[in-house]
Amino acid sequence: MYTAGRTAELTGVPRETLRKWEQRYGVVQPTRSEGNYRLYDDEAVRRLAAMRDLVDSGWSPRDAARHVLDEPATATVAGLEAPGGSPHEELDELAAAGEDFDVVRVEDLLDKAFAEADLATTVDEWLLPSLVRLGEAWQRGAVSVAGEHFVSAAVVRRISHAFQQLPHAPAGAPRVMVGLVRGSRHELGVLAFALVMRSRGMDVAYLGADLPVEAWVDTARTLQPAAVVLSAPTVEDLPAVREAAQAIAPHAPVFLGGAQQHRVDGAEPLGHRIGEAAAELAARLGDGG
């Protein structure tokens, strides 16, 4: 349950507007605390965010509200849409190897994939889809928590390995800061992004997960990077990401990945194809603008 202020942060809709939307259209009916404070649940946040998206894209608030109310309540699943209805019967190779805890097979699969010529394509076409299918398999109980952890750990190791093997950026290469804000821990995406960036000759400073805003600002001021790349994987990350983006903006251009990337002002969204986005950004910076 979230208070009014927090809900405003999460959805990007001002408190007052939130109240008006409730009074005028009844998009949400928050319960009340003892002290008569509004308490919004996850479903309310989802609806408000959906309505905000519609309004932003030109719908009239009244229509947007009607549309949101007509939609059945959806259980949000980490920002990922359910696949087009085809229940994958056979397990992904990677997931199967993970469920057997077969170190050799998992690492062989990853080795083979990373031997491909184009890193960006490998990441977008094979690695990330495989991980999405792994997540789906885990959700429907086809893969255990431990199996999922086992594969994820192997993937992170493999990306780190690839990152390490790449030659260092030449002197004078554009510098890019990559990492996650405080509270955020989904390293896989940013790590893959950092990998592709380095493969394109960028000077990547990878700062890891859970870094406070002040640290981002101080470092950006010191390093004067050509770009700062963050990720907004979940709604919960939004307040911290917004705060960071705003604070960093005066010192360096901010780019954003992750499912919630379009919900942050002042940061340029990079899209959802990590490898492609990294390659593009690298080309742009390498060309001097």
Partner DNA sequence: CAACGGTGGACAAACTGTGGACAAGCCCAA
Partner DNA sequence: TTGGGCTTGTCCACAGTTTGTCCACCGTTG
Q: Which residues bind DNA (CB under 7 A)?
A: 3-6, 13-17, 19-21, 24, 33-38, 55, 60-62
Tell the smallest beta-carbon distance from residue 265 to DNA (Å).
Answer: 12
Tell the smallest beta-carbon distance from residue 85 to its own copies (Å).
Answer: 25
Among 41, 71, 218, 265, binds its own copies (CB under 8 A): 218
Q: Following DSSP, what letter does each residue of the chain receive, concatenated?
A: -B-HHHHHHHHT--HHHHHHHHHHH-S---EE-TTS-EEB-HHHHHHHHHHHHHHHTT--HHHHHHHHHHSPP----TTPPPPSS----SPPHHHHHHHTT-HHHHHHHHHHHHTSS-HHHIIIIIIHHHHHHHHHHHHTTSS-HHHHHHHHHHHHHHHHHHHHHSPPPPTTPPEEEE--BTT---HHHHHHHHHHHHHTT-EEEE--S-B-HHHHHHHHHHH--SEEEEE--SGGGHHHHHHHHHHHTTTS-EEEESTTGGG-TTSEE--S-HHHHHHHHHHHHHTT-
Among DNA, its own copies, none, partner that 262 touches (CB below 5 to 8 angstroms by kind): none
Contact of 178 with 207, CB cutoff 8 Å: yes
Question: Please, which residue, 76 or 152, has the CB nearer to DNA?
Answer: 76
Residue 281 corresponds to which amino acid? L
Among its own copies, DNA, none, partner that 258 touches (CB below 5 to 8 angstroms by kind): none
Contact of 116 with 67, CB cutoff 8 Å: no
Q: Examine residue 33 and tell whether it contacts its own copies (CB under 8 A).
A: yes
Q: Examine residue 145 and tell whether it contacts its own copies (CB under 8 A).
A: yes
Residue range at the interface with its own copies (CB under 8 A); choices 125-133, 140-148, 257-265, 266-274: 140-148
Q: Examine residue 204 and tell whether it contacts its own copies (CB under 8 A).
A: yes
Per the structure block, which two tokens stand in for 173?
A: 């290469």
Q: Examine residue 168 and tell whether it contacts its own copies (CB under 8 A).
A: yes
Tell the smallest beta-carbon distance from residue 62 to its own copies (Å).
Answer: 7
Q: Examine residue 103 and tell whether it contacts its own copies (CB under 8 A).
A: yes
Tell the smallest beta-carbon distance from residue 200 to its own copies (Å).
Answer: 15
Among its own copies, DNA, none, partner that 186 touches (CB below 5 to 8 angstroms by kind): none
Question: Please, which residue, 29 or 222, has the CB nearer to its own copies?
Answer: 222
Distance in angstroms between the alpha carbons of the first and the last residue of the chain: 44
Among its own copies, DNA, none, partner that 249 touches (CB below 5 to 8 angstroms by kind): none
Tell the smallest beta-carbon distance from residue 233 to DNA (Å).
Answer: 24
By the criterion CB under 8 A, which residues form the site for its own copies? Answer: 1-3, 6, 9, 33, 57-60, 62-63, 66, 77-78, 101, 103-104, 107, 144-146, 149-150, 152-154, 156-158, 160-161, 163-165, 168-169, 179, 182-183, 185, 203-208, 210-212, 214-216, 218-219, 222-223, 239-240
